[in-house]
Chain A
Amino acid sequence: MTDLAPPLGRRLRWTFTDGLTLVGRELGRLRHDPGELVAALIFPAVMVVLFGYVFGSAIQVPDGGDYREYLMPGLFAMVTFAAVMGVMTRMAADASRGVMDRFRSMPMARLAVPFGQTGADLLTGLLMLAIMVGAGLLVGWQPHRGLIPTAQAFLLMVVLRYALSWVGVYVGLAVKNDQVADAMVPLFLPFTMLSNAFVPTDGMPGWLRFLADWNPVSALTAAARELFGNPGAPSGNLAWPLAHPVTAVLLWSAALLVIFVPLSLRAYTRGGR
């Protein structure tokens, strides 16, 4: 490209300020649509009650701990994974309603849209996580290993969430159609449940157990259990990601970013070309 581009410094500043404007857009949407906030509040409550009390009454934790203590790291991982669906539907809605074309035809920074969208998701994700933590504390979950490991656990969730949100950017740009994107949202449930988030993977048939053990949701859940000192630390002959969950989460995050950031940026700038 021999575009008469403005100097790099200004381009970076625009990318940043345009990204911030788009973060502000998402916050503005939340303010105008408190329904989304209410749904965000109800979801954790429903999950905690449904799994903590309904299913949990019949599930034995391997090392005999409290099921709700076992469950909460899984729910944190589930909330983290929701980034894919959230960002995907937002990108697809903008693409199918022409908003993306408007962005592309404006003299705004090219990278601001995907960076703004993932940045905004990080903020809403923190909010969701905070609500989920509140719900957990209410039903008797707590971290047991002190401040630093607890902070590390939440940091891992944030890192993986950010990486997952780029998967959402790419898939949303690829489907380009909000109805298709909405139809894909229910896949969220089997994907998160095919893991160690709710039950140990030992009892699953071999091939299913393999998928569950290598699911990034499982790595994050295992890492969080370890760092919070919650029950359910797996033992015996373990798949690699469950034996080294913290490293696995970091590797997963790095791999997702390395693959999906370039793919997404390419999909965004090339658009409907």
Chain B
Amino acid sequence: MLIQALYKVFRQPAYTIVAFVSGATVFALAVWLPNLPLIIRVMGHTDASLKDKIGLPLSLLGSITTNFSVFSGVLTIAIAILFGINLAMFAYYLKYRVALVQRGGIATGFLGVVSGVLGTGCAACGSFVLMSGFSLVGASGALAILPFGGAEFGLLGVALLIASIIITAMYIQNPAVCSINP
């Protein structure tokens, strides 16, 4: 089921690009985080050349090997990759749902479409989209609240993302229906 869903999503190059870009963004943000003020300072610095402005953020990416323990570095990379996959699958699912919503004529206005997108699911299942979004927040949030770097609990973030990917895969394979047990 998971493999099939992954194949269904990533055979379309657009979703591979979404996964790569979003994963790379998360990775870069995580690595740059301690030095965002420096990056902003250099970006706004009039004497800094374009080479400086591009080179500094690029060189800071290398801090994955100098400013991370091996464990936290591996977790950071894993979370970035899983985030990218999750987001791409999420986008695929959203697009599919929106098409269904539109065909069904449920969305009669802009807010209706937004709420339709965010509130996909059904009364019995709850909002899958929001839950999926919360799982993403939960993954990063788990790292956010930890005082000692979160390396140990980063595993929880990875688990949440994997769970989210599996759940999204299930929805992709069996969308838009709430099964009724006889």
Q: Do A and B come from one complex?
A: no
